[in-house]
Homo-oligomer: A and B are copies of this chain.
Amino acid sequence: MSLNSFGHLFRVTTWGESHGPALGATVDGCPPGVDVDVAQLQGWLDRRKPGQNKYTTQRREADEVEILSGVFEGKTTGTPVQMMIRNTDQRSKDYGDIAEKFRPGHADITYWQKYGIRDYRGGGRSSARETAARVAAGGLARAALDKLAPGIEIRGYMTQVGPHGIDRASFDEAQIDQNPFWCPDAGAAAQWADYLDGLRKSGNSVGAICEVVARGVPAGLGAPIYGKLDTDLAAAMMSINAVKGVEIGEGMNAACLTGEDNADEIFLGNDGAPVYSSNHAGGILGGISTGQDLVVRFAVKPTSSILKTRQTITRRGEATEIVTKGRHDPCVGIRAVPVGEAMMALVVLDHLLLHRGQIGDGGGRIG
């Protein structure tokens, strides 16, 4: 069972542990002839890289991606693309204390219960380091989208840190790259900086909400019933470490709306294509894209490795206390933004390929 794989036709298998020699992504099913610019791939990885500011873990990793197969003379060949990232900063001594103790809120205990193996060097496979491989695969997916469906834009940002949400009225896309939080609201960014400084100093952490939007996605991607676009997006986002909730369009708030309010009314655009009065649906109806923006949100729980003392037990069954020293993220949600973008790119490309396979150039026209 490819339990470490994601995608139907553009199939990504990530591998590697946080403190092993390397990690990476094996991508099977990438169309041939896609231009692969390693510098561009590296650019995506650099956005996720730890240690770039005081709000993310101070672990230093070059996160340099090496392409081992599937690319020849700068183009994909249609065979598997292997992308490897060597781990360089493997100071596992930082984790010595947790070889025996289980961190509350962490996968330590469940990995032990499942596998009977304790990779005490770090989170092992459950570490956020795994997401570097996703970003590499997502970068390849973006390159493939550029060839197959030029004009698709994928953009992620944070909308909430702890109790502090952005003000949608102050949304300014240009702000996103201007602060360490991918925050589209300058006021919120300032507030978050203060808030996170306090948390960081006290050795605590906090959760966050990320939103990812894909623009320019053609209508018709997705498929009933279990290969729905929203099903795959939900799986994609929920598979990211520490994510506890996923929303499409109105999300959980859909519960509060009446049918009258929720209906995105349909009109004819100047080009004869349908336009909608609103996007409560988040760009998906019946599991299939409408052509509107795809809008996905997900909540990331706070990092469980904190300096606060918590009660726990050891592998031997002894009650004890734990304080996790080391280099951790006060708000791991920050680094989840590029990961969410990568997952969006994977899902959109995958469904584009599925659509080509089953439908080809067909599909219904309006008018």
Which of B117, B219, B230, B301 interacts with A75 by CB under 8 Å?
Answer: B117
| Cβ–Cβ contact B116 & A256, under 8 A | no
| Cβ–Cβ contact A313 & B257, under 8 A | no
Is there a chain B Cβ closer than 8 Å to A190's Cβ?
Answer: no
Is there a chain B Cβ closer than 8 Å to A290's Cβ?
Answer: yes
Within 8 A of B (CB), among A75-100: 75-82, 84
Size category of the A interface is: 35 or more
| Cβ–Cβ contact A301 & B252, under 8 A | no
> Which of chain B's residues have a CB closer than 8 A to the CB of A43?
none
| Cβ–Cβ contact B9 & A1, under 8 A | yes
A49-57, A167-175, A177-185, A242-250: which lies at the interface = A242-250
| Cβ–Cβ contact B262 & A105, under 8 A | yes
| Cβ–Cβ contact B364 & A315, under 8 A | yes
> Which of chain B's residues have a CB closer than 8 A to the CB of A366?
109, 112-113, 313, 315-317
Within 8 A of B (CB), among A325-367: 333, 353-360, 362-367
| Cβ–Cβ contact B257 & A302, under 8 A | yes
Contact with B along A110-128 (1 / 0, CB 8 A): 1111111111010011100
Contact with B along A6-23 (1 / 0, CB 8 A): 101101011111001111
User: What are 25 residue pairs bridging A and B, where the CB atoms are less than 8 Å apart in the complex?
Assistant: A3-B223, A3-B224, A3-B354, A4-B224, A13-B13, A16-B80, A31-B358, A79-B125, A102-B266, A105-B280, A105-B285, A114-B220, A114-B288, A114-B355, A115-B359, A126-B286, A162-B255, A244-B250, A244-B252, A245-B246, A245-B250, A255-B300, A315-B366, A316-B367, A354-B357
A115 to B117, CA, bound (A): 32
> Which of chain B's residues have a CB closer than 8 A to the CB of A312?
265-266
Is there a chain B Cβ closer than 8 Å to A206's Cβ?
Answer: yes
